[in-house]
């Protein structure tokens, strides 16, 4: 078992966008006796070492381990989680296109991953300024995780950044985030509603 990371926890505000934070999820890490210099690692050992490196903040080392695990033929290392974590490493290293490609690979293996859609949506918005692609992925994330307040909040921020034509959708997304208990969404909901009233 290894860690999965999520980039979705940062609000996507057009005026004050920040780079997403990596948030570790609980993981069980196994240590292997074969982790000795000069000994070739199995793909599961590479994955474990990659996970530990990522948790320690060493994205370059982690990426190397994940790539090595994926390159080993005959082993079942090409999982949605490995591609997901590989994408997190690539994104951390400023390789947005490679990260998106890895996350797409993750989705090809498991299309039910809301966290992957959220990360792709964030990357499209924060790094490519492609609001429509970002909205498309965040909508899919919201459909897959209807009780995730952060995803609904980010979707609201994306709709609001798209302009007045999507203000109603932004209000709906913020409202859902408020219903799910996300306190910071209340201010955004009030502001979006005030903006809508002022446009009439």
The predicted-structure confidence for 75-126, as pLDDT tens digits, reads as follows 566 788 899 999 999 999 999 999 999 999 999 999 999 999 999 999 999 9
Whole-model pTM?
Answer: 0.79
Q: Who's near 148: CB < 8 A, 6+ residues apart?
A: 8, 114, 141, 142, 180
Paired sense of beta strands 5-6 and 23-24, if any: antiparallel
Q: Looking at the structure, tell me whether residues 43 and 127 fall in a common domain.
A: yes
Burial of 191 (0-12, 13-18, 19+ CB in 10 A): middle
Residue 150 CA to residue 139 CA, distance in Å, equals 12
Q: Looking at the structure, tell me whether residues 86 and 162 fall in a common domain.
A: no
Q: Looking at the structure, tell me whether residues 138 and 150 fall in a common domain.
A: no
3 state SS of 154 = helix
H or E element in which residue 187 lies: helix 184-198
**Which one, of 37, 39, 105, 91, lies nearest residue 62 by Cα?**
91
Q: Looking at the structure, tell me whether residues 78 and 126 fall in a common domain.
A: yes
> Per-residue pLDDT tens for 130-185?
999 999 999 999 999 999 999 999 999 999 999 878 899 999 999 999 999 999 99
Residue 118 CA to residue 169 CA, distance in Å, equals 17
Q: Looking at the structure, tell me whether residues 108 and 183 fall in a common domain.
A: no
Q: What is the pLDDT of residue 42?
A: 79
Q: Looking at the structure, tell me whether residues 65 and 101 fall in a common domain.
A: yes
| Cα atoms found within 13 Å of the Cα of residue 58, Cβ hemisphere only | 11
* Mean pLDDT of the residues in the chain: 81
Tokens of 50: 């990659």
Whether 65 contacts 49, CB under 8 Å: yes
Q: Looking at the structure, tell me whether residues 136 and 151 fall in a common domain.
A: no
Q: Looking at the structure, tell me whether residues 138 and 152 fall in a common domain.
A: no
Instruction: Give the end of a domain, one of 93, 114, 142.
Output: 142
**Which one, of 93, 101, 63, 82, lies nearest residue 2 by Cα?**
82
Q: What is the CATH number of the domain that holds 62?
A: 1.25.40.10
Q: Looking at the structure, tell me whether residues 58 and 130 fall in a common domain.
A: yes
Our count of domains for the chain comes to: 2
Q: Looking at the structure, tell me whether residues 128 and 157 fall in a common domain.
A: no
Domain that includes residue 24, residue range: 5-142
H-type alpha helices, 93-183: 96-109, 114-128, 131-144, 149-161, 167-179
Residue 87 CA to residue 93 CA, distance in Å, equals 10
Q: What is the pLDDT of residue 104?
A: 96
> Per-residue pLDDT tens for 20-56?
333 333 233 333 333 434 445 678 888 889 999 999 9
């Amino acid at each position: 078992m290894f860690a999965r990371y999520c980039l979705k926890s940062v609000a996507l505000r057009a005026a004050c966008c920040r780079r997403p934070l990596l948030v570790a999820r609980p993981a069980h890490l196994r240590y292997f006796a074969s982790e000795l210099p000069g000994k070739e690692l199995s793909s599961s050992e590479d994955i474990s070492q990659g996970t530990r490196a990522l948790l320690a903040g060493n994205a370059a080392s982690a990426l190397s381990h994940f790539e090595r695990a994926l390159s080993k033929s005959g082993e079942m290392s090409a999982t949605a989680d490995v591609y997901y974590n590989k994408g997190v490493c690539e994104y951390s290293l400023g390789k947005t296109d490679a990260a998106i490609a890895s996350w797409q690979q993750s989705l090809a293996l498991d299309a039910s991953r809301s966290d992957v859609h959220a990360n792709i949506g964030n990357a499209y918005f924060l790094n490519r300024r492609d609001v429509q692609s970002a909205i498309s992925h965040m909508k899919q994330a919201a459909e897959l995780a209807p009780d995730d307040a952060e995803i609904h909040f980010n979707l609201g921020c994306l709709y609001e950044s798209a302009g007045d034509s999507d203000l109603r959708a932004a209000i709906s997304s913020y409202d859902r985030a408020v219903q799910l208990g996300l306190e910071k969404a209340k201010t955004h909901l009030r502001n979006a509603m005030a903006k809508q009233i002022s446009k009439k």
